[in-house]
Structures are given as structure tokens and as C-alpha cells.
Amino acid sequence: MNVDRAIRLIGGGFVAASVVLGMYVHPGFYWFTLFVGLNLFQSAFSNWCPMMAILRKAGLQG
């Protein structure tokens, strides 16, 4: 698995989990959904996100 696929997998998992948590635990979890969405939005323009650096340090190839 490469970094791009891992970022899509992690981003999708974070969004799905935060929506479920927002529905069943506390609506404050929707703020995390917004954070992930905005991070994905800015990474489309800058081609960088914090998770990318973490995954590369963990050994995934670009």
C-alpha cells in the first residue's frame, strides 16, 4: 500500500467514524469531521498533510 491509498483509507475511516460518533455519542464529533474535510481540502492545493508525514515516517512509500 502506498501513501496516497493509505491517506484515502484513513480519511474515509475518520469521517465515517466521526459521523457515527456524532449521531450516537455526542454532536461535538461533527467538528472532527469538519477538521478532516478541511485538511483534505487544503492538501489538494498544497499536496501535503500531516498524515502524509506520519505515514512516510512509518515506512510507507510515496
The domain locations on the chain are 3-57
Q: What pLDDT score does 47 carry?
A: 87
- What is the rounded CA–CA span in Å between residue 1 and residue 9? 10
Q: What pLDDT score does 12 carry?
A: 95
Residue 14 has which C-alpha cell? 475518520
Q: Are 30 and 19 in contact (CB under 8 A)?
A: yes
Q: What pLDDT score does 26 carry?
A: 98
Number of residues in the chain: 62
Exposed, middle or buried: residue 22 (CB in 10 Å: 0-12, 13-18, 19+)?
middle
Successive 10-residue mean pLDDT values, the chain, 62 residues: 92 97 98 95 91 92 78
Q: What is the pTM of this model?
A: 0.84
DSSP code of residue 28 = G
